Structure 1
Amino acid sequence: MQLPVNPPILPMLAKRVSEIPTTGSWIFEPKWDGFRALVFHDGDEVLIQSRDEKPLNRYFPELIEPLKKQLPKRCVLDGEVVLARDGGLDFDALQLRLHPAESRVRMLAEQMPASIVFFDLLCEGNKDLRNIPFQKRRQLLEKLVGSAKPPLHITPATTELEVAEDWFRRFEGAGLDGVVAKPTEGIYESNRRVMFKVKHERECDCVVAGFRWHKKGERTAVGSLLLGLFNKKGDLHHVGVCASFTDQKRKELVDFLEPYRKNALKNHPWKEWATAELEMKRIPGAQSRWSQGKDMSWEP
């Protein structure tokens, strides 16, 4: 590919905040619950790139031809691959699309086809648009894909706070993840948290089943806690991590967790994580298509 913006590049990120901003100049969008995707189109070449710079083409073959036919011959767009089922987004079903067997990939593409929702434009033709204000990029995006047909879509956007608040309340039941606020004059900054995101919050009591050392302080600082929930059969499923700690709290957690670590692996539900994976249990530590090359080791 020979574009003004060539792959791989890291997408622009969002900082989580507790409330939708009420002061300043913003463009609000729904926050989609899917896989972040940068789409590069140059003539007959199309690349769908994940947030961590991995190619997604083979997992979503049903998107390739629509992208070739509907997008300008030379462009780079930012968006989200989503999967809609039963009147809402289904992230669990979307995760099933990441399968190593080509035959199953093809079958799932027919049975559970994905869509892609665009929300930013990085380049068109020979023009790199990353340094122009988002408000202008949005206008250009609307001209490019505003009349696109499924499975291509453009995200709704508004400058009205009341509309954004309504979206936040109303769209949760449809599987959307919240609201994103983008500065109208903001440029596109890869790998920087220059947008805001307000996510729906749910509370539950989880089991702290393990932790990972902090990358800058192994044996001296905790990086993240691994959280789990038991199902009715007594299987402990990995449901997420907790990692938003101050440097001081990371150090304190080392001493706090130490008494619980003695013989912790002996009867740990995740001791045989490879077996759990075969039984379709959610566990940490396994190498996925997203985490290849990363250290996913953890401490019980």
Structure 2
Amino acid sequence: MLRPPIELTRAAGVPELPPPRMCRGGCAYEPKWDGWRCAAVVTSGSVMLQSRSFKPLAAYFPDLVVHLSALPGGTVLDGEVIRFDPTAGRTSFAALQRRVTAGRALPREARARPASFVAFDLLHDANADLRDLPLVQRRARLEAVLAGAPTALQICPQTTDYDEALLWLEAYAPLGCEGLVVKDLAGRYRRTGWWKYKIRTTDEAIIGGLVGTLASPSAVLLGRLDYQHRLRYVGHTGPLTVPQQQEIAELATLVESQGYHPWPQPLPAAWLGRFDRADPVPYVPVAPLLVAEIVVDQAYESGRWRHQARHLRVRTDMHPSEVTPWSPDEP
């Protein structure tokens, strides 16, 4: 019987969707959902949910524990906890985060916004460890284990058709799909061996601050103007290259903010998505006069990109008023 901590397979990012010939046994393509990756471990008397970083999650999802407890003892699933918001017509990552901060209101939160578990692998059934079996066999057993399960326990869609996978990129994106995960049908369950292809687009945002120093910025804080012309925080970039640091430093020196700035100083760690690091982040305020061209994924919610953007260049040819206005919904 497998018990936490369980090492979950990691997917390596790729710039292009791998064709079927890239997998020894043929490629399987699955939607990459915007939720919390975790293992579900079912014993005869309990259910454990373990995050990818080995943190226990079951206490936050009593609704899922009830459904999972009906599965045979010994079952260990790998999957994604998601919350589908029927009003928005897509998954809501914010709803998952509210589970952690709900406190005594957790039972009410679970009833009002029930979660789902989307399973994409079976690591152990009632009888044996399955991790040395090829994926195609584990998938067949997964479908047998979850046959007749309640709708809160779902099997992740999977296709071996490359053209259909390309269609899924467009069809599933509005529902909260970030891209596709690619797996070898002959592959055994190991720490590595999957690929992930994320949907990414170029966009623009206003440079509102710099992490580091004015002379040597390490990252850019991004904003957009709302319809009242207030600068709203929308995200941050990853580490800058040396040429990018030099370009931004030269331009930002001209627009360093000397007066009022609408963002708190230092920046709350939660604004950067650092829920495991509580320390706020000091930054250099910049007047909202420079526009950055960035690469972003589909994880945009409540007016912010949740994942790091990749800085491409400063758009000196663009005025901040030309940037898409801030919106709490998809840009």
1:25-174 equivalent positions in 2, closer than 5 A: 25-69=26-70, 71-86=71-86, 88-125=89-126, 127-174=128-175
1:14 corresponding residue in structure 2: 11
Mind listing any 5+ residue stretches in structure 2 that lack a counterpart?
285-331
**Paired positions, count:** 275
Instruction: Please give the alpha-carbon distance, in whole angstroms, between the structure 1 residues aligned to 2:52 and 2:129.
Output: 20
Determine which of 234, 255, 262 is the counterpart of 1:239. 234
TM-score normalized with structure 1 length: 0.77
Amino acid at match of 1:239: V
Q: CA deviation at 1:211?
A: 5.1
> Is 1:250 the equivalent of 2:247?
no
Instruction: Please give the alpha-carbon distance, in whole angstroms, between the structure 1 residues aligned to 2:135 and 2:18.
Output: 17
Determine which of 269, 272, 278 is the counterpart of 1:285. 269
> Is 1:200 the equivalent of 2:184?
no
Contact 1:83 1:91 in 2 (8 A): yes
Contact 2:85 2:92 in 1 (8 A): no
Question: 1:96-141 CA deviation, whole Å, 9 max, x = no partner?
Answer: 5334233322222111111110001222346333333222221221
The higher radius of gyration belongs to 2
Q: Secondary structure at the match of 2:145?
A: helix
Q: Secondary structure at the match of 1:30?
A: strand
Question: 1:175-225 CA deviation, whole Å, 9 max, x = no partner?
Answer: 3222221111223233x4x32223333432113344557xxxxx9883x54
Amino acid at match of 1:174: L
Instruction: Please give the alpha-carbon distance, in whole angstroms, between the structure 1 residues aligned to 2:210 and 2:142.
Output: 42
- After superposition, the CA RMSD in angstroms is 3.2
Contact 1:30 1:177 in 2 (8 A): yes
Instruction: Please give the alpha-carbon distance, in whole angstroms, between the structure 2 residues aligned to 1:265 and 1:104.
Output: 43
1:279 corresponding residue in structure 2: none
- Cα 1:59–1:212 shift into 2, 3 Å: farther
Instruction: Please give the alpha-carbon distance, in whole angstroms, between the structure 2 residues aligned to 1:60 and 1:227.
Output: 33
Q: CA deviation at 1:95?
A: 3.9
Q: CA deviation at 1:266?
A: 5.7
2:301 corresponding residue in structure 1: none
- Cα 1:125–1:91 shift into 2, 3 Å: same
- Cα 1:146–1:229 shift into 2, 3 Å: farther
Amino acid at match of 1:227: L
Contact 1:208 1:227 in 2 (8 A): yes
- Cα 1:143–1:294 shift into 2, 3 Å: farther
Which 10-residue stretch deviates more, 171-180 or 253-262? 253-262
Instruction: Please give the alpha-carbon distance, in whole angstroms, between the structure 2 residues aligned to 1:272 and 1:295.
Output: 12
Contact 1:9 1:53 in 2 (8 A): yes
Amino acid at match of 1:269: P
Instruction: Please give the alpha-carbon distance, in whole angstroms, between the structure 1 residues aligned to 2:123 and 2:49.
Output: 14
Question: 1:248-296 CA deviation, whole Å, 9 max, x = no partner?
Answer: x6334444444537965864433346xxxxxxxxx65239997324766
2:306 corresponding residue in structure 1: none
Amino acid at match of 1:286: A
Contact 2:42 2:76 in 1 (8 A): yes
Instruction: Please give the alpha-carbon distance, in whole angstroms, between the structure 2 residues aligned to 1:294 and 1:226.
Output: 18
Instruction: Please give the alpha-carbon distance, in whole angstroms, between the structure 2 residues aligned to 1:239 and 1:183.
Output: 37
Instruction: Please give the alpha-carbon distance, in whole angstroms, between the structure 1 residues aligned to 2:56 and 2:77.
Output: 15
